[in-house]
């Protein structure tokens, strides 16, 4: 008699677990909305970040490098892992620099 009063049947137990999982996913969704509302300025700033291609990056950096006395900016093939590693090389356009300063 007490078992019937205080315990759930197999069907009721599965239904309870399904509803509990639904409520937890809804809580996660609402928490995400709250986070976006509280950090709106940060999310807006992230949305404005320019995502450059290698060609666009090279065009953006060439004038800066030339102003500093370097030329022929070339990028190596990017290494894609957890992060992106992009090697590069420049040629020293100023004569008279010591080897240490040039490197």
Residue-level pLDDT at 1 = 65
pLDDT digits (tens, 9 = 90+) for 12-71: 989 999 999 999 999 999 998 899 899 999 999 999 998 888 889 899 999 998 888 888
Residue-level pLDDT at 86 = 86
Residue 93 confidence class, pLDDT cut points 50, 70, 90? confident
What the block records as the tokens of 75 is 């990028």
**Which positions ≥6 away from 58 have C-beta within 8 Å?**
73, 75
pLDDT digits (tens, 9 = 90+) for 2-11: 777 788 888 9
Residue 2 CB-half CA count within 13 A:
0
92 burial level (CB within 10 Å; 0-12, 13-18, 19+): middle
Boundaries of every domain in the chain = 9-47, 54-102
How many of the other CB atoms lie within 10 Å of CB of 63?
9
């Amino acid at each position: 008699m007490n078992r019937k009063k205080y315990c759930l049947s197999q069907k009721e137990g599965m239904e309870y677990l399904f509803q509990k999982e639904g409520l937890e996913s809804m809580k996660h969704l609402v928490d995400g909305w709250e986070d976006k509302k509280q950090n709106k300025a940060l999310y807006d700033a992230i949305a404005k970040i320019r995502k450059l291609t290698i060609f666009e990056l090279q065009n953006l950096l060439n004038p800066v490098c030339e102003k500093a006395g370097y030329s022929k900016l070339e990028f190596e093939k990017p290494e894609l892992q957890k992060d992106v590693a992009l090697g590069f090389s420049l040629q020293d356009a100023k004569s008279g620099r010591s080897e240490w300063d040039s490197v």
